[in-house]
Structure 1
Amino acid sequence: MKILFIAPYVPSRIRVRPFQIIKELAKSHEIHIVALDESDGTSTIGIEEIRDVAASVDIIPHSKPKGLLQALLSVPLPLPMSAAYCWSQQMQRTIARVTSERSFDIVHVEHLRAAHFAPFGIGVPVIFDAVDCLTSLFRQMARSKRNLLARSILALEAAKLAYYEPRVLQCFDWVVATSDSEQAALLSLKPGIHVTTVPNGVDTAYFAPMGTTKTPRRIIFTGKMSYQPNAQAALWFAQNVFPRVRARWQDAEFVIAGSNPPDSIKALAGIPGITVTGYVEDLRPQLDMAAVAVTPMQTAVGIQNKVLEAMAMALPVVASSLATRAIGHGAPGIIEANTPDEVATAIDQLFANPQRSIELGKQGREFVERQFSWNAAVERLEAIYNELLAKKH
């Protein structure tokens, strides 16, 4: 079938969900992509892999200053700032041109920020990959902020999303989410809509142990650091847990690997034992050198790709219950810990028993190989496409 894939960011190894979904779909279908790009070029890593498999790719440049101005102007309006940020007339014109030049069987729209680009009037089923429930995410973020201004801005955005998100959901023929908890959250906003869980997977051929010599007491946290929940988690660990670990293990290291770290994260590099890498083109060597991965999320929705990737690299993972909720509590290879004492104790036990670390890492990799393949995820998506097409005919 011919599929038009619309996204508010470039599908790449940074934006792994659309990247992997497109790669899998392209094995059997003709994929045409229209996506915004407001990055400095770092978000396009792997885009050539997408160009190689897609029938056409239109990347629309979108400047950050323009996006921020649009978000600011939307403050008194019902439109969420995150959606206003991504508005682009050029994107809209490109979608109009593409849909006038070609006929499609399915339109697939990724994320709430691209929902306003959906071409509903062309007589084709339109599916919406919500990914996560943004109303739920922003409510969590607002509650977690101590700064009054930041909390007020996030609470305002949460209120806007609570109005906007259910109205978006009802427009689409089908909605997809990354986990059962996100499915439930979306249904609570708009009961009666069709919502199906299509979980994230992990590319276990790409993310696999590389045989790098381990740094025995290196702890790693990975993620796009401009994403506030990631920065919050890294800061929480550095301030509340790492000093306890360092007091017991003086050679302990904490590596924060991810693009666009804010100043609060960059400042951590001044603390002995902490390294802030910034953008890393290939995370695998960083993961392969580490002894343990941590994911102490204080705010989280959906599946944490960073957990799946660390498990695929055969790393033991110490994660908060929020980070493991969508993967499954008690999953092999993960130690669930929430308080600073619990996290520090879990790491201490792994450092003291390297053989247990190896065994947990092996169990985690075997688990994701069985349970989190992208092929299985895309088969669920294809079943939705086929059901929508059957209804149409």
Structure 2
Amino acid sequence: MQPASLSILTPTPLYPAHAGAKNHSLNALRQLSDYYTVDSYCLANQPQTVDWGPLPQWCRDLHAFAPSNPKHRGIDPPAVHLEFSQPMRDYLQQRWATKLPDLLQLEGTTMAQYAPFARHLGLKAIICTVHQVGFVAQWRRLQREKHWKLRARRLAGLLSLWLYEQRALRQCDLLVTLSETDQRTLARWQPKLNIVTVPAGVDLSQWPLCRQPQAPQQVLFVGNYFHPPNVEGALWLAREVWPLVQAQMPEARLMLAGRSPTPEIQQLASATIQVPGTIDDLQAVYRQSRVVAAPIFWGSGVRIKILEGLATGLPLVTTSLAAEGLALKHETHALFAETPQSFAAALVRILRTPRLAEQLGDAGRQLIAQDYDWQAIGRQLAQHYQRLL
């Protein structure tokens, strides 16, 4: 019997998967290709130059399309306008004219704008992966703004996102959140929607143990700096926390690794702070470090970089919001800290206590193996999808 067909629409090419959402989408596609015949379509400013990486071995049809300005903008958020593509709609309408896919998967709430188009063509099983609830992220960002002009801007963005997500997500037959927190939030506003939580994951075969006893006293922060919460977290770590660590451990070093550091991040570079820029082999950086720091104060969804950090076997110091949606316990899998003083104290404690670092690192990696293995997550997704069929 021929497997059911699944079409996946993504806002960016999935390879290389340098950002958390792309990493999640790529791994989900890989796992779902064991259960379905997969077609994958993405947006790209230069479609002809897209590097598909391993996707051809998992997908039947692969195409990239340039974004285009929608004819009617309305009050939708700017991200929705940026992810509109008439060429993609035209191609899919022609391809689906002869045979519709059994399932359509939209990656991210902004891609839910394609649900009414798919519904009009006759698709009856439309799924949206909710990487984060946009209006929740904006609300949390608003709470941190102090200047009234920025607060007004965030409030306008919050209202725009709320209106859009309320309308667009109603067009989907299944919403897949990455955390139970996001599931509860959406269910509060849309109690009739079909919402399930399937966690993000890590492929442990791609993430060997990186803890090295001879590693220098280095604290590692990893983040894609296109994502504003990562920029704010890195600045807070370098400006507020690091001087307190240095006062107790002058020999310690901080590395702010990640793609496309902003000028503000680059200016942090000093004798004790490294800003290496884009690094293709993150595992090498983990092997050079003693502890992972992940201070994040706003956003929604699950932070893939925390899962990857735990997979390496390094101890983690993070904030409660950054660990939202993950089964992490303070003093068991990681240390939680919210203020510069407590965060610095947690980092120094780990750097000075190798036994604690080992215990936290082992517990974190064991948690990943038990609860966040991608093969098990792929089975969960397929089971939910089958119910739609």
TM-score above 0.5:
yes
Q: Residues 95, 150 of structure 1: CA spacing in aligned structure 2 closer, same or farther, 3 A cutoff?
A: farther
Q: 2:191 corresponds to which residue? A: 191
Task: State the shift of 1:167 in Å.
Answer: 0.9
Alignment of 1:72-87 (within 5 A): 77-87=74-84
Tell me the residue number matched to 2:9: 6
SS of structure 2 residue aligned to 1:220 = strand
Number of the residue aligned with 2:62: 57
Q: Shift of the alpha carbon at 1:329?
A: 4.2
Q: Deviation digits for residues 2-61 of structure 1, max 9, x if unmatched?
A: 10001111223221111000011112321100111248999x77x411222111111224
Question: 1 or 2 for the larger relative contact order (CA 8 Å, sep ≥6)?
Answer: 2
Greater CA drift, 146-155 or 334-343: 146-155
Matched residue SS, 2:322: helix
The equivalent residue for 1:377 is 377
Q: Is the 8 A contact 2:229 2:299 kept in 1?
A: yes
- Contact residue 214 and residue 288 of structure 1 kept, 8 A: no
Aligned equivalents of 1:58, 1:220: Cα separation in 2 = 37
Separation (CA, whole Å) in 1 of partners of 2:227 and 2:10? 18
> Does the 8 Å CA contact 2:35/2:382 hold for their aligned counterparts?
no
Deviations 1:341-392 (CA, angstroms, capped at 9, x unpaired): 1111111111111232122211211111111011222222112211111xxx
CA offset at residue 261 of structure 1? Answer: 1.9
Indicate whether 1:165 and 2:165 are aligned.
yes
Question: Counterpart of 2:39 in 1: which secondary structure?
Answer: strand
Q: Is the 8 A contact 1:115 1:168 kept in 2?
A: yes
Residues in 2 aligned to 1:264 and 1:94: alpha-carbon distance in whole angstroms: 41
- Do structure 1's residue 92 and structure 2's residue 57 form an aligned pair? no
Q: TM-score, normalised by structure 2?
A: 0.91
Tell me which amino acid in the other structure corresponds to 1:193.
L
Q: Structure 1 residues 39, 359: closer, same or farther in 2, change over 3 A?
A: farther
Contact kept? 1:302, 1:326, Cα under 8 Å: yes
Equivalent residue number for residue 39 of structure 2: 32
Q: Does the residue aligned with 1:219 lie in a helix, a strand or coil?
A: strand
- Alpha-carbon contact 1:214-1:291 (below 8 Å) kept: no
Q: CA deviation at 1:232?
A: 0.7
Change in 2 beyond 3 A, CA 1:157/1:379: same
CA distance in 1, matches of 2:173, 2:298: 30
- Cα distance in 1 for partners of 2:140, 2:345 equals 27
1:340 Cα offset (Å): 0.9
* Letter in structure 2 aligned against 1:184: R
Pick one of 107, 110, 127 that aligns with 1:110: 107
Is residue 2:311 matched to residue 1:308? no
Contact 1:240 1:340 in 2 (8 A): yes
Unaligned runs of 5+ in 2: none
Question: Please, which runs of 5 or more residues in structure 1 have no aligned partner?
Answer: none
- Give the CA deviation at 1:143: 2.0
Instruction: State whether structure 2 residue 138 is matched by structure 1 residue 143.
Output: no
| SS of corresponding position for 1:55 | strand
Are the equivalent residues in 1 in contact too, given 2:210–2:286 (CA < 8 A)?
Answer: no
Q: Is the 8 A contact 2:102 2:123 kept in 1?
A: no
Give the stretch that moved more between structures: 309-318 or 247-256. Answer: 247-256
- What is the alpha-carbon distance in structure 2 between the residues aligned to residue 344 and residue 211 of structure 1? 21
Secondary structure in 1 matching 2:138: helix
Q: After TM superposition, give the deviation of residue 211 of structure 1 in Å.
A: 6.8
C-alpha contact 2:217 2:351 (8 A) present in aligned 1: yes
Q: Distance in 1 between matches of 2:104 and 2:343?
A: 44
Distance 2:80 2:292 in 1: 33
Distance 1:211 1:237 in 2: 22
Distance in 1 separating the partners of 2:181 and 2:92: 32
Amino acid at match of 1:320: T
The structure with the greater share of residues assigned to helix is: 1
Structure 2 distance, partners of 1:335, 1:211, is 17
Contact kept in structure 1, 2:112 and 2:169, CA below 8 Å: no
Which TM-score applies when normalising by structure 1? 0.90
In the alignment, the residues of structure 2 paired with residue 214 and residue 289 of structure 1 have an alpha-carbon distance, to the nearest angstrom, of 9
Distance 1:171 1:311 in 2: 36
Q: Distance in 1 between matches of 2:46 and 2:186?
A: 29
CA RMSD of aligned residues (A): 2.3
Q: CA contact under 8 A between 2:66 and 2:85: conserved in structure 1? A: no
The amino acid across from 1:111 in the alignment is G
Task: Show the 5 A alignment for 1:132-281.
Answer: 132-210=132-210, 214-269=214-269, 271-281=270-280
Q: Which has the larger displacement, 350-359 or 290-299?
A: 350-359
Distance in 1, matches of 2:217 and 2:249, equals 8
SS of alignment partner, residue 129 of structure 1: strand
Structure-2 separation of matches of 1:242 and 1:211: 22
Q: Distance in 1 between matches of 2:344 and 2:166?
A: 41
Change (3 A) 1:40 1:26: closer
Out of 95-104 and 173-182, give the one that drifted further: 95-104
Kindly indicate whether the alpha-carbon contact (under 8 Å) linking 2:101 and 2:123 is maintained by their aligned counterparts in 1: no
